[in-house]
Amino acid sequence: MQERESVSSLTARRRWRRLRQDIRVFVRLFPWRIALIMGTGLVLTALLFQRDFNRLGRVSEPLSYVQALLSVIKILQLDYDLPVPTALDPYFALLPLIGLPLFLLFGVNVFNVIRVFFIRQERGFAWQAALASTANRHILICGVGRVGYRLAQELLELGLDVVGVNDSSSPLTESLSNAGMPVLLGDVRNEDLLRQAGVTRAATVVVCTNYDLVNIEAAFRVHELNSRARIVLRLFEDEIAETLSATLDVAAIISRSALAAVAFAHAALGLEIVETFQVGDGEYVLAWLPVKAGSPLAGRTVAAFCEAQDVAPVLVRVEGGVPAEPDPDAALQVGDSLLVFASGDRLGALLNCAVLPAGEPAEPAPRPVAVCGLGHTGYRVALRLLELGQPVLALDFESSRLAQRLIERGVRVVFGDLRQPSLLAAAGIGDAGALVACSEDDILNLEVLLRAREVNPNLRTVLRLFEEELGPRLQQAFGIDAVYSTSAIANPAFLSAVLNLNVAQSVLVDGGQYYLTRLVIGPDSILVGRSPAQLDAEEGVTVALHARQGVVSIPPEAHAALQVHDELVVLASQNQLRWLSRGQRN
């Protein structure tokens, strides 16, 4: 009941916020200038009419100002019926000639404003620009594609002012507009458009189109218009990113494909990556380790295994049950799964623990992993697999610059219609151990995956999908081993960079919602003097990492007394996160 009331309260607050926003825009769009000209003209004309009527008219009682005002209005309506001297004929000739067009123009403008106020589908560029003009110290997102859309959703959920700029309309931009967020359409590099989007007043600007060159040019333009704004930039090319960071003052340069490649590559090899997480320059992951027959995990206690592998235990799933906080002294059994937080450089060792039985060497000739779709994500996945020592079979519909790069690295690349089982068979999909379908087209990914499964029923399959909510259904319906959304994987990194805070990212684990966050302990923090063991004893809190003066401990030393400026990474429930965050240093 309490949860239902909180949802209802949140909905009411959103509606009230949108109503206030609409009223501000209505006031801004109202034709005040025409109204002022008409009002001033009406007042002055009534004064003149009163003076001339009383001077020239032969009446026993002089005309009052109110009567003069009503008389002018009647003349404008061509409905004046009082006897007047002929000397006042210019009023009857000129007033309708000048006043009626003004009244008509005023009426049309008022009608348009009222129409778009009540009919959201009628709201065009003028309304969006007016809505953007009400924002101050807001977050401007240049490029409302998949990455920008998810980021905007998260920021709106936090109640922040967000303005978007995109090259064209799409279901994503329309969805955000319907949620009350102004989205202006046009070239993100256009100075006038950026000004209309409030770039000079923005606190942070995120440039995240799909094109590196467009992003770079837009970032320079933003910096010229507002040198105080924090710029978060999306780039694919690492070399360009390194050079640009030394040239342009940007808060962060993020590659969506690089972040996603970690999850895709390891999922293809059998390791389920739940989230990637960055602390400083370090890359960390949340990963499920299944306990199989002959696994190094079987029979060992949680504490002993994690200490040996330099990982932090987060949750344990006993025989496929509901995840729970692990007992350090509990022995892991076959069928259990352990969720651990680990440094990215530990993934190779974890992969061996998850896939290979204890004491058995790796296969002398591992089966290749097929990567379908050699865009930014597919290219990065292939590179990651090569770094892990895995042979790669690259597949795409046509040749591209990134495909040629893989060929230069000695990767076998096959081009053609990948929806044809005969082509897949000839390419060698029957000998592959896994397939990663990661093109930009969700339906194409699914179709290629199903055709490949026809050729090789034992193929391990990993699917890229934008619609994150649809993933579990497709996974269950088609027996897909893993489903990931690249924009969902990258979103926490963008969110953290945008807010420049110790941001919590939501982590869904078997339907349960947790928050993974980095905390920096401030002088007034309630955590000063406590130990990681004391925090772990709290319901709904797990300490995954402790860092002091650059020295990172995974798992944390259980009884170390926490000090000011120490850093923690914790997995916590929402209520516990509020408690932990009190007094932290931003």
Lowest mean pLDDT among 7-11, 172-176, 332-336, 573-577: 7-11
Residue 2: pLDDT over 50: no
* 32-56 and 65-76 helices, crossing angle to 10°: 110
Residue 318: pLDDT over 90: no
Q: Please give the structure tokens belonging to residue 155.
A: 């920021």
More confident residue, 76 or 304: 304
pLDDT classification of 433: cutoffs 50, 70, 90: very high
Q: Which of 90-99, 314-323, 465-474 has the highest mean pLDDT?
A: 465-474
User: CA of 44: how far to CAs of 41, 56, 107, 164, 521, in Å?
Assistant: 5, 18, 21, 45, 68
| DSSP one-letter code for 550 | T
pLDDT of 561: 92
pLDDT of 485: 87
Lowest mean pLDDT among 18-27, 70-79, 325-334: 18-27
Q: Which residues of 501-518 are buried (b: 16+ CB within 10 A; e: fewer)?
A: ebbbbebebeeeebbbbb
- Over residues 511-522, mean pLDDT: 74
- Over residues 466-483, mean pLDDT: 87
Lowest mean pLDDT among 229-233, 285-289, 450-454: 285-289
Residue 65: pLDDT over 80: yes
Helices and strands (DSSP H and E) totals, the chain:
21, 21
User: CA of 237: how far to CAs of 244, 257, 522, in Å?
Assistant: 11, 10, 37
Among candidate residues 124, 135, 152, the one with its CA nearest the CA of residue 20 = 135
Segments of 201-353 assigned E as strands: 204-207, 230-234, 252-254, 272-279, 282-290, 312-317, 337-343
- Over residues 401-426, mean pLDDT: 94
> How many Å is the maximal CA-CA distance in the chain?
120
Provide the 10 A C-beta neighbour count for residue 497: 22
Question: Whole-number mean pLDDT of the chain?
Answer: 81
Three-state secondary structure call for residue 184: strand
* Pairing assessment for the beta strands 460-464 and 482-484 based on DSSP bridges: parallel
pLDDT of 95: 72
pTM of the model: 0.68
Q: Cβ distance 165 to 140 under 8 Å?
A: yes
Q: Which residues of 46-58 are buried (b: 16+ CB within 10 A; e: fewer)?
A: beebbebbeeeee
Segments of 37-91 assigned E as strands: none
pLDDT of 581: 63
Q: Name residues whose C-beta falls within 8 Å of residue 410's C-beta, 6 or more positions apart in sequence.
A: none
* Angle made by CA atoms 36, 41, 43, in degrees to the nearest 5: 95
More confident residue, 557 or 112: 557
Query: What is the DSSP annotation of 497-547?
Result: HHHTS--EEEEEETTEEEEEEEEEB-TT-TTTT--HHHHHTSTTEEEEEEE
Lowest mean pLDDT among 68-77, 80-89, 436-445, 488-497: 80-89
Residue 435: pLDDT over 80: yes
Residues counted in the chain: 586
> Alpha carbon 405 to chain centroid distance?
30
- Over residues 156-183, mean pLDDT: 87
pLDDT classification of 398: cutoffs 50, 70, 90: very high
Lowest mean pLDDT among 19-23, 354-358, 555-559: 354-358
Q: Cβ distance 385 to 369 under 8 Å?
A: yes
Q: Which of 133-142, 443-452, 537-546 has the highest mean pLDDT?
A: 443-452
